[in-house]
Each structure stands twice: as C-alpha cells, then as structure tokens.
Amino acid sequence: MKIISYNVNGIRAALKKGLIDWLKAADADVVCFQETKAQPEQIDDAIFEELGFKFCYWFSAEKKGYSSVGIISKIKPKHVEYGTGIDYMDKEGRNLRVDFEDISIMSLYLPSGTNDDRLQYKFTYMDDFKTYIEDLKLRLPNLVICGDYNICHEAIDIHDPVRLKTVSGFLPEEREWLSKFLDESGFVDSFRKLNKDVVQYSWWSYRANARQNNKGWRLDYLLVAEEIEDKISRSVILPEAKHSDHCPVLLVLK
C-alpha cells in the first residue's frame, strides 16, 4: 500500500498549480490531505475519481476557509470516522480516519502555536489527542497517523535549531511531547527509521526565499504503529512537488 500525506495549504489553490497531474504520476493508493481550507461542497470529487480515487472523504472546520482535512482512496474502507468525538477538536476539522481490513489510516492536522492562546490550545490538544489515540489503539492496533504535526522533533529536523529553540514548532515541551507520543503510545517515525542521518524538510516559509535556500522544517510525519513496524518498506519526503509551502511525504507498506 502506497500512502501519501500532503498539507496542501488550500486544496483549491493546489489544484490550480497542477496537483492532479502530480497525483496521477505519484500513483498512490491513499492520499491524506491537511489544511484543505474548503467545505465538502467546494471540492469536486469527480476530478479525483477520474484518477481512480473512487472514495473521497472530507472533514471541514466550522469556520469556512480554515484548517480541514481529507482522505482520497482507491480502496473502499469498511468504516470512515469523522473527527475524534472531542467537541473542541472537531470544530476545527483536524482528524479524519479510514479503516480497512488490516490497517487504519488517519489524516491529522495538529494546531500551530501562533500566539500564547493558540500555544496553550495546542498543548491541550496534544494531551487529549495522545489519550484518545492510546484508547483507539486498543481497538485498532494497526494504525498509521499521517499529517502535519507542526513540530520538529530533533535538531536534524530544522535548519537553525539554536536560534529557533524558542519558537513554537521547536519548543522543548513540543519536542518532548512527540518523543513521549512515539515511545509511550507506541509509534515509529517511518522516515527517520529508514533515513537516520538524512537532512530533509517538508515545510518552508514563503518569506526570504526560504525554499530556494532550503531553510526548512520537517513538520510532516508518517507515524506507524509499532505493531506493523515490520511492514515499512519505504518512507521518503518529496520536495519536488511544489503546490504548497509544504511538500508531500510518502510511505510504502508491504
């Protein structure tokens, strides 16, 4: 199974930049989108169906043009879960999950800490999300959580770890949470498992030619439950795709 996760920073804008042609060439089985910034009625499923993605699901924020996630699949899931059932999370449209016979795949868009209020919101979200996932794994152990975590885990994951250590996305508390999520909740960072010393990023600011100068952050992860860690055969970042300020990440499971 080939899985792609992509924060498109507005799916309608990404479509105008050639997203469909790229998806056709990428030939994934399941694609998880984050930050679609659209309501379901604003997205034409037919353009994805023509590529073989017959099953399209969208979970949007109550606020129009904000946040929101989606999953398109060539394989019919046996169940689709919109949100987490936690009210304040679901109002922002940040979690969507599809369950197949042997695997469950979630598209996640974790909040960013753009100011003090949102940073506290992010920490609350992270704590509640960890509890939710640990309970979910009791029922669905073969879980893959794809998405934009808005956290760089280690110094290797950010272009300037010294100067940016006080910026949300690389705060010690955020990094510690991700370490605990991996260790205590039982997940593997698939990219780092196969690419221990590779310096690559998945997000670049639109400012100061950051992408051209490769001053980036690795914010997008394909976390795989330890129960199916042995199924990981490939996990890569795809920086040649330029429909967003993020780039896609790809996972292949045996």
Residue 71: per-residue pLDDT: 99
Residue 15: per-residue pLDDT: 98
User: d(Cα 133, Cα 135) in Å, to the nearest integer?
Assistant: 5
Whether the CB-CB separation of 81 and 102 falls below 8 Å is answered with no
In the three-class reduction of DSSP (H, G, I as helix; E, B as strand; rest coil), residue 111 is classed as coil
Residue 29: per-residue pLDDT: 98
Amino acid at 145: I
Whether the CB-CB separation of 10 and 36 falls below 8 Å is answered with yes
In the three-class reduction of DSSP (H, G, I as helix; E, B as strand; rest coil), residue 51 is classed as coil
Phi, psi values for residue 113, rounded to 5°: -100, 70
Q: Which of 21, 102, 127, 148 is catalytic?
A: 148
User: pLDDT per position in the chain (254 positions), as tens?
Assistant: 999 999 999 999 999 999 999 999 999 999 999 999 999 999 999 999 999 999 999 999 999 999 999 999 999 999 999 999 999 999 999 999 999 999 999 999 999 998 999 999 999 999 999 999 999 999 999 999 999 999 999 999 999 999 999 999 999 999 999 999 999 999 999 999 999 999 999 999 999 999 999 999 999 999 999 999 999 999 999 999 999 999 999 999 99
Residue 160: per-residue pLDDT: 98
How does 84-101 read in b/e, with b if 16+ C-beta sit within 10 Å?
beeeebbebbbbbbbbbe
Residue 221: per-residue pLDDT: 98
Domain 2-253 CATH assignment equals 1.20.1260.10: no
User: d(Cα 70, Cα 27) in Å, to the nearest integer?
Assistant: 17
Apex 247 CA angle, 127 and 26, nearest 5: 115
Active site residue 148: yes
- What are the contacts of 129-137 at 24+ separation with CB within 8 A? 129/84, 129/89, 130/177, 130/180, 130/181, 130/184, 130/185, 132/84, 132/86, 133/181, 133/185, 134/184, 134/185, 137/185, 137/186, 137/225
